[in-house]
Structure 1
């Protein structure tokens, strides 16, 4: 009789423990889901549900290779944008529970919607699959992609015919490019290398391996000190211009209510980085010190006029002519000069 009572009591304890465990994980999952769209800002405190705090001895947040028991959104651990984490809960009974979550961290200030007018239009070769776009004076330097037809070209703004062309090997898909002094640096999509060219002749000088952290080459610009690259993620990678295989620092980008990934073609101008978002008709104005998107250009109308119904003919060219912005896209027939209001 005593054995049966003991066994029954143990079963009740086990059932209670399972119920508590399920309630803790379910409540934490509901909490995380409810906060994902609303997001957090740096300095915010994670207010976990009572079902967790009442039965947890400790709560730790794991970021894969680092952990913290501080439930404050601290930039030492979190970045702007989406953060994939695991909550590790040690219960009062000694059990270890794991709950995966995405914690979105947003910029504190809203992006400014930047108004503009179209000041001028110039012809652009619609055969060019634009990946990198630079303007120096009235000279355009353009990196065009696609396997088997990638090239680096140079032409005068207002003329769609190149004055110089440097064809890429058939196995190279050209991507973003930027000017540093008398050199042009250019990324490749999946070859894990970059090229350096003489700006005047477009002849190749050298090549370099991309850092391992950069899975694919997308956009590239120069901020006067470092090369800045994108790889289709939310990150801006600042590279040592003298050794582009070395990452100096990484900055994640987000807006006030949005996370941004697929950052693509880049341009640095007057202390800010401008980036388009692949398959979106927007260009972000980004504070490179913090990663906060401080402004946004909406080019929906211009994109619709040029994409010919092809989803791959996206906005993908940013340059500056004085204080005016030049924009174009993949297989677009025009370059637009934009005057900011």
Structure 2
């Protein structure tokens, strides 16, 4: 009896040691993965790459499964069917060699393979702009400008001739509406709102409201809007471009995420479509991206730092936020800017 009791105690002791060793090993493995995830030197990936995880993880894992937006993969490949460009929130589900299952949240950055081209330009003309207008949407048809201005109790849709500060037509919004991006489709203008969760459709010639529509649930806030000849394209302040059915703008046709070669671009804002590319400014950043709408790759970048500093007058909210095209020249302006600039792209 005494011998059996001693034997059981020894076995229990061994089991406790093994359990403690396993717990420490698992803890070290998860700490290593957490440190890897939080490291400033964390590696960025491209589509087709294989995830490179710390040796402490791979040596002690029986299997590793990835979960990205509720889709699971048993491989460590950066698959475009699973990942998007930019930041991806991932859950690592690790089955250890000791039979336990561990979960670890992580962020995986996926970048475009080719660097963005720095695009040069030359200012060839300047036009007056009403400095009271908080520009959210801006587009041109020849010398006719359509502009959507934001802020509650000050939102409006206006139409004027380039070079004039006096609108030919003004459509004031109700005081609770905060207007955002706008786009012309045929003889209609579509307009988003910031947090009102609705959009408006107007007659292009008279600016009289024809109807309204609910914003898709996936779009938390309305920011920028353009038309690519087939779909409306919207932003919501994230890294995403949302392609909307022009006949039913509450329906998302597809979603494309945007990134550069070394940079993820959140806060995509005002949009313009021109000659097969989407141009987007980045909120609170004096740049305009040239984006391939099929892949989301930022293929080019304009730097308007100097122009922005000359026009924001020390107010950080008076940002670059207007993109339009006059022929092949770009028109740019911003929130409460006193000027519109015409630039020739070199």
Query: Is 2:289 aligned against 1:294?
Result: no
Partner of residue 21, structure 1: 26
TM-score by length of 2: 0.97
Following the alignment from structure 2 to structure 1, what is the Cα–Cα distance between the partners of residues 253 and 40?
A: 33
Pick from 300, 308, 311 the counterpart of residue 306 of structure 1.
311
Partner of residue 216, structure 1: 221
C-alpha contact (below 8 Å) 1:220/1:227 kept by paired residues: yes
Q: Deviations over 1:111-159 (max 9, x none)?
A: 0000011110000000000000011111110000000110000111001
Tell me the CA shift for residue 36 of structure 1: 6.3
Counting matched residue pairs gives: 341
Partner of residue 41, structure 1: 46
Pairwise CA RMSD? 1.1
Pick from 262, 277, 280 the counterpart of residue 275 of structure 1.
280
Following the alignment from structure 1 to structure 2, what is the Cα–Cα distance between the partners of residues 174 and 144?
A: 6
Q: Deviations over 1:46-70 (max 9, x none)?
A: 1222212222111011124211111
Query: Is 2:84 aligned against 1:96?
Result: no
Tell me the CA shift for residue 9 of structure 1: 1.1
Following the alignment from structure 1 to structure 2, what is the Cα–Cα distance between the partners of residues 299 and 49?
A: 41
C-alpha contact (below 8 Å) 1:119/1:337 kept by paired residues: yes
1:160-309 equivalent positions in 2, closer than 5 A: 160-309=165-314
Tell me the CA shift for residue 34 of structure 1: 4.3
SS in 2 for 1:304: helix
Moved more, 303-312 or 9-18: 9-18
Query: Is 2:136 aligned against 1:134?
Result: no
TM-score by length of 1: 0.98
Q: Deviations over 1:264-316 (max 9, x none)?
A: 00000000000000110000000000000000000000000000100100000
1:146-165 equivalent positions in 2, closer than 5 A: 146-165=151-170
Between Structure 1 and Structure 2, whose CA radius of gyration is higher?
2
Change (3 A) 1:278 1:30: same
Following the alignment from structure 2 to structure 1, what is the Cα–Cα distance between the partners of residues 41 and 48?
A: 17
Following the alignment from structure 2 to structure 1, what is the Cα–Cα distance between the partners of residues 37 and 197?
A: 37
Following the alignment from structure 2 to structure 1, what is the Cα–Cα distance between the partners of residues 44 and 157?
A: 42
Pick from 107, 110, 115 the counterpart of residue 105 of structure 1.
110
Following the alignment from structure 2 to structure 1, what is the Cα–Cα distance between the partners of residues 55 and 111?
A: 25
Change (3 A) 1:232 1:293: same
SS in 1 for 2:266: coil
Q: Which runs of 5 or more structure 1 residues have no equivalent in the other structure?
A: none
SS in 1 for 2:263: coil
Tell me the CA shift for residue 107 of structure 1: 0.1
C-alpha contact (below 8 Å) 1:36/1:104 kept by paired residues: no
Tell me the CA shift for residue 187 of structure 1: 0.3
Moved more, 81-90 or 56-65: 56-65
Partner of residue 3, structure 2: none
Change (3 A) 1:164 1:175: same
Pick from 317, 322, 332 the counterpart of residue 322 of structure 2.
317
Following the alignment from structure 2 to structure 1, what is the Cα–Cα distance between the partners of residues 41 and 210?
A: 48
Partner of residue 8, structure 2: 3
SS in 1 for 2:249: strand
